[in-house]
Amino acid sequence: MKKPVRVAVTGAAGQIGYALLFRIASGEMLGKDQPVILQLLELPIDKAQAALKGVIMELEDCAFPLLADVVGTDDPEVAFKDADIALLVGARPRGPGMERKDLLLENAKIFTAQGAALNKVASRDVKVLVVGNPANTNAYIAMKSAPDLNPRNFTAMLRLDHNRALSQLATKADVAVGDIEGLIVWGNHSPTMYPDYRFATANGQNLKDKVGDADWNANTFIPQVGKRGAAIIEARGLSSAASAANAAIDHIHDWVLGSNGKWVTMGVPSDGSYGIPEGVIFGFAVTTENGEYTLVKDIEVDDFSQKAIDKTLAELEEERSGVAHLLG
């Protein structure tokens, strides 16, 4: 039997947490032969801790053979102790009348503290995925608050956007979703993101040639992927949870176990490629192997794509300057 992997999850009693934990414990994220220890963080308020207790009871009642232990806590240093993987899902939601700027600052406090706790107690190889919004900037803050950890350990979730784009494209091009390769979502996890299928193929056929419709790209595909989250809220009365949890599982699964040469989208600190300033957490196409990701370089950027990339970068830069004073 392999040594258990320690997986920390914050916001564990929330709706994404509820869709996520059972799949991690059943082996869907790290493999059916990989035991896990779940280290679950919730807010230090009675209601959140009671809900967390209930989730842990249900995890126990599943009798998952791969679940070696579960820890529930309100202390980030307990949750992140020796963590190999940290899924930062919990975040401050936007309250009534709250400005975007205030939301950024409230979350900055959370991710500064959690970054510092990771820095102090997590495994030096911890793989961090930030799901809580604004995900890219929260990941940036956590990364900056953890100076002893490799910045490459910090990522933000754009996989839901990637999966949404895959699904829309598969329907339009009438191909199986699993056959599509070469899709990218550039930028911020927000409606400014740029889903880009110029190089997407299915069974060797270029889908841009097949779909061949610039109007569909600009006026349907891009806005539909960008506003999908809002459409789910409108339809369900609640934000995406199962699909978000699924994307988190995909992201970590591929990071740890490899993407077999396929491009996947991860929000990762820029190395300066494509003119994105170093350190900005940006959605790029990557391939993954042996627990490492590699940015796909030298993708041609045409005028349309450059404008789209500039727009999403401008938004990220604005978010970054909004929290710069907190990061020293």
The DSSP H or E segment spanning 47 is helix 46-62
Q: Which of 48, 67, 117, 286 binds ligand NAX (CB under 6 A)?
A: 48
Residue closer to ligand NAX by CB (options 48, 256) is 48
Residue closer to ligand NAX by CB (options 73, 123) is 73
Query: With CB under 6 A, what is the number of residues at the site for ligand NAX?
Result: 29
User: Which residues are paired to 86 by β-bridges?
Assistant: 8, 128
Residue closer to ligand NAX by CB (options 35, 226) is 226
Q: Is residue 189 annotated as a catalytic residue, yes or no? A: yes
251 near 171, Cβ under 8 Å?
Answer: no
Pairing of strands 85-88, 67-73: unpaired
The pair of three-digit structure tokens given for residue 66, joined into one six-digit string: 């791969």
Residue 137 Cβ, how far from ligand NAX at the closest point, in Å?
A: 11
In angstroms, the Cα distances linking 56 to 16, 31, 73 are 15, 21, 11
Q: What are phi and psi of 189, to 5 degrees?
A: -75, 85
In sequence order, what are the residues at sequence separation of 6 or more whose Cβ sits closer than 8 angstroms to the Cβ of residue 76? 10, 41, 113, 114, 117, 118
Q: Is 16 annotated as a binding residue?
A: yes
Q: Is 95 annotated as a binding residue?
A: no
Q: Is 306 annotated as a binding residue?
A: no
Is residue 165 near ligand NAX by the rule CB under 6 A? no
Residue 298 Cβ, how far from ligand NAX at the closest point, in Å?
A: 27
* Burial class for 269, CB neighbours closer than 10 Å (0-12, 13-18, 19+): buried
Tell me which stretch binds ligand NAX (CB under 6 A): 85-93, 165-173, 204-212, 253-261. Answer: 85-93
Is residue 42 near ligand NAX by the rule CB under 6 A? yes
Pairing of strands 36-41, 67-73: parallel
Is residue 160 near ligand NAX by the rule CB under 6 A? yes
Is residue 244 near ligand NAX by the rule CB under 6 A? yes
Residue 80 Cβ, how far from ligand NAX at the closest point, in Å?
A: 11
Q: What is the dihedral of CA 133, 139, 145, 149, to 10 degrees?
A: 150
Q: Is 320 annotated as a binding residue?
A: no
Is residue 93 near ligand NAX by the rule CB under 6 A? yes
Q: Which residues are known catalytic residues?
A: 189
Binding site for ligand NAX (CB under 6 A): 10-11, 13-17, 41-43, 48, 89-93, 110, 131-133, 135, 157, 160, 189, 229, 239-241, 244
